[in-house]
Structures are given as structure tokens and as C-alpha cells.
Amino acid sequence: MKILLIGLVDYTKVSGGVIHQSALANNMLLAGHSVALLAPATGEFENLRGAVRACLVPTPSMRRLGLPASLETFFQVPEILRQVRKNRPDAIYLRNNLFTCVIGMLGRVFNIPVITEHNSWQAIERLYIGRARQFAFIESYLQALDCKLSTACRTVTAGIRDLLIDSGCNGSSITVIGNGADPETFRPLARESALAKWALDPALRYVGFIGSLIPWHGVHHAIDAMRAISKRCPNVRLLIFGDGPERGRLEQLMRHHALEGRVRFFGSIKLADANEAINCFDIAIAPFSRQLYEKVGVATIKLGDYMAAGRPLVASDLPGLRELGSTGWPVLVPPDNPDELAHGIERLINDPAELVRRGTAGRAAAEGPLSWQAITARVVTLIEDTIRTSKA
């Protein structure tokens, strides 16, 4: 099967999108399919790993000119047309963005099935950070239009599926397939060697977060929780890997609570270093906010990374995380509640046997039904079914 894979992921940065799209493409190649990956040429593709590097087709990037990344969809159109003429893909698989409805239109013109993947609900994110409500309406309309113009859609949570249906989309064309874990890139390491990489004291215990520092990831709740944890468990430290618009506010909060010696920011790191960073965590955390995720659901890539590295997890009790409870991996606590987050961390960090048991359960899930290999197989089945149905 020939698959044209399209996205606006910036491979010069470490992000969930980079890990997600690379994993899908590489596992499609391993399964014997032909893949062409279209991605904006934002710089060196240093974080694109595996066999898919040979399948990369760079497209023009507008980010260097300070223009919105979503406009790059239009600059991908000439290359899409060239791929259609030259290779005639069996299907186009793309990651939803503001203007990807244009690609759905092209699929209809050339009679090529288009499967669109929806990873978020952009309008809710916009409202969460206080952006203009009229733009949120436009984003909701365009996201629903993308789904309506596509032959089929994949959503990573049931919440996104429900939002699309509420917006008038046909539920029978939408399949929920969550995100996965990469048990080869992310794997358990010896604690001492991981800590040595970052010059951390092995006598201390570490709670950690890796990812974008944005409001709905709830890292401010972790810093608030550290105020209580530091009194009852003085040997515990909070490690924060990643960057984003919230970093200044988070550092200010750390200073406000006089936690300078107990909370450490590492900033952005290379993808090649992410596994060693995660292996520093005795406990990984996902203190996500109810306001965004209660309706949309959680399917962030960092969960798979924590899982594959065998890190026990303390996380908000929200859709998407709640379903992982059956694996025996996460400890779930009420969202937006620093006191409950602190208690969850303390109970787990004071029970070494439970730490091991939950970490082992996470690794087992990452090697089995939640691996990217298993998730990609389900995505490929969706693509095959969509091709077959479109020909009927």
C-alpha cells in the first residue's frame, strides 16, 4: 500500500508530534508499506529518526518569516499534486491543522481516500488561554469541515470524536485509536547512570515532568504540591524538562514558595536525551487540568514515553488517563488539587515495592497493546478499510 503521510510537525524540536509521526511512519515501513512523508523544511531534521528519514519530502516553511505554521498547508499543495501525478498514493493520511480541509478537497478531486487524524480540539485550547472567542468559532468550524471532507477520521480520544459529532460530523466515519508507546526508543535504564548524565544526587528521590510548559499541563499544581511534599519528604525533588510560554510564571511560583533548591528546570533537550531524562524520575507526573481535558480527553505522547521507560505515574483522574487504570500502571488523583497530588506522590514514593510493581506494569503495556507497533497496525487497518469502502 502506498501512503502519503502529511503533517506540519517541526522536526527541529522535541515534541509529541515528532515522536508520534515518526513512530507511525516507521512502523508503516516495517509493515511493508510504501510511505512518503511531507514535512515543512524548518531546519535540520535532527529529531526524525529511523528508516523514514529516507522517505522525507521537505516542503516550504513560513515560520522563518514569522508567519503562522498553519499556512504551510497551502505550500504543501504543489508537492501533494506532484506526488499524486508521480506515485498515485492509495491513500493520504494527514494530521489535522487549521487549513487541512484543503487536502480533503484535493482527495475528492483526485478520488484518493483521505484519512485525517485529530489530536486535539483547537478551539478549546484557544479559549483556555483567553484568546478571542470569534476565532475559536472559526477553528471549530474548520476542524469539523476537515472531518466532513475527509473519507474517514481517526481521533485519539472519544472526547474529540464526540465534539466532531456534536459539530455535525458523521459518527460512522470516525474511529477512536489512541496514541502509543515506543518501547525501543524509551526503555528502563540503570538509575545511577541516568542521574549521572544530569549530575543528580542518587541519595535523593525525584518526581519529574517532561513536555511543553503550557497552562493545561498543570505543572503549576506540581510546584504547589512540592510546598507540602518538601515538609513531609525533604529528600524529594521536582525535575522539569521542557520549555514553553508558562516557564516564566512557573519559575516565579517556585521562587514564591522558596523552592529554589527543590525544583529544577532543565529547559528543552534533544530527543536523543529524553529517555535518560525520564529515567531520572522515581515517579513521573501528569497533573493535567480538568478545564481542558475533561471534555477533550488525554492522549499526550509523554504518557507513552513514561510508560515505555517503566516509570510509575501519578496523574489526574481524567478521560484518557482513567482508561489506563486497568493496566495497573497509574495512580490517579483528583485534577487541579495540589494537596491530593502531593498525597498521591508521597504514598507511592514511600512504598518501594509499589513503585516497582507499577513501573513494571507500565512497561508491559508499552510492549503490548499500547505499543506504536500495535497502534500503527490499527491505523493501517483503518486505512485499508477506508480504501476498500471507497471503491465499493
Q: What does residue 14 show for φ and ψ, rounded to 5 degrees?
A: -90, 120
330 with 205, same domain: the answer is yes
218 has a pLDDT exceeding 80 = yes
205 with 346, same domain: the answer is yes
The kind and range of the H/E element at 194 are helix 191-197
Percent of the chain with pLDDT over 90: 76
Average pLDDT along the chain: 92
User: Does a structural domain hold residue 51?
Assistant: yes
User: Does a structural domain hold residue 186?
Assistant: no
Q: What is the rounded distance in angstroms from the CA atom of residue 379 to the CA atom of residue 383?
A: 6
Q: Please give the residue range of the domain that contains residue 272.
A: 191-367
156 with 26, same domain: the answer is yes
Q: What is the rounded distance in angstroms from the CA atom of residue 222 to the CA atom of residue 206?
A: 12
146 with 295, same domain: the answer is no
- Report the DSSP beta bridge partners of residue 5: 37, 93
Question: If phi over 0 gives left and psi between -120 and 50 gives alpha, with beta otherwise, what is residue 86?
Answer: alpha
pLDDT tens digits for range 27-61: 999 999 999 999 887 666 666 667 777 788 888 88
User: Does a structural domain hold residue 237?
Assistant: yes
Q: What is the rounded distance in angstroms from the CA atom of residue 309 to the CA atom of residue 279?
A: 7
pLDDT tens digits for range 337-377: 999 999 999 999 999 999 999 999 999 999 999 999 999 99
249 with 329, same domain: the answer is yes
Domain total in the chain = 2
Q: What is the rounded distance in angstroms from the CA atom of residue 324 to the CA atom of residue 291?
A: 20
Find all residues with CB under 8 Å of 356, minimum gap 6, and list them.
none
Q: What is the rounded distance in angstroms from the CA atom of residue 149 to the CA atom of residue 121?
A: 17
pLDDT of 131 reads 61
One-letter identity of residue 50: G
Contact between 92 and 112 (Cβ < 8 Å): yes
User: Does a structural domain hold residue 185?
Assistant: no
351 with 210, same domain: the answer is yes
Start-to-end CA distance of the chain, whole Å, equals 18
DSSP 282: S
- Report the DSSP beta bridge partners of residue 241: 210, 267
pLDDT of 346 reads 98
One-letter identity of residue 228: A
242 with 167, same domain: the answer is no
262 with 157, same domain: the answer is no
174 with 224, same domain: the answer is no
**C-alpha distances out from residue 124 to 144, 148, 238, 291, 294, Å:** 13, 20, 29, 9, 11
Torsion on CA atoms 45, 46, 50, 52, rounded to nearest 10: 0
Average pLDDT on 206-210 reads: 98
287 with 375, same domain: the answer is no
Torsion on CA atoms 185, 159, 329, 198, rounded to nearest 10: 40
Among 180, 172, 177, 179, which Cα is nearest to 386's?
172
User: Does a structural domain hold residue 63?
Assistant: yes
169 with 283, same domain: the answer is no
Contact between 315 and 193 (Cβ < 8 Å): no
Q: What is the rounded distance in angstroms from the CA atom of residue 18 to the CA atom of residue 56?
A: 13
The helix/strand/coil state of 163 is helix
Q: What is the rounded distance in angstroms from the CA atom of residue 279 to the CA atom of residue 357?
A: 16
User: Does a structural domain hold residue 320?
Assistant: yes
Find all residues with CB under 8 Å of 78, minimum gap 6, and list them.
none
pLDDT of 306 reads 97
pLDDT tens digits for range 273-306: 999 999 999 999 999 999 889 999 998 888 999 9
Give the strand order in the sheet containing 330-333: 263-267, 236-241, 205-210, 283-286, 313-316, 330-333
Rg (CA), the chain: 21
Find all residues with CB under 8 Å of 205, minimum gap 6, and list them.
233, 235, 236, 237, 282, 349
77 with 158, same domain: the answer is yes
Contact between 271 and 305 (Cβ < 8 Å): no
The kind and range of the H/E element at 32 are none
Residue corresponding to grid cell 523514514: 52
Q: Lowest mean pLDDT: which of 5-19, 162-176, 242-256?
A: 5-19
One-letter identity of residue 382: L
pLDDT tens digits for range 68-121: 788 888 989 999 999 999 999 999 999 999 899 999 999 999 999 999 999 988
pLDDT of 129 reads 65
133 has a pLDDT exceeding 90 = no
User: Does a structural domain hold residue 28?
Assistant: yes
Full-model pTM: 0.90
CATH code, domain carrying 102: 3.40.50.2000
Q: Lowest mean pLDDT: which of 125-129, 198-202, 210-214?
A: 125-129
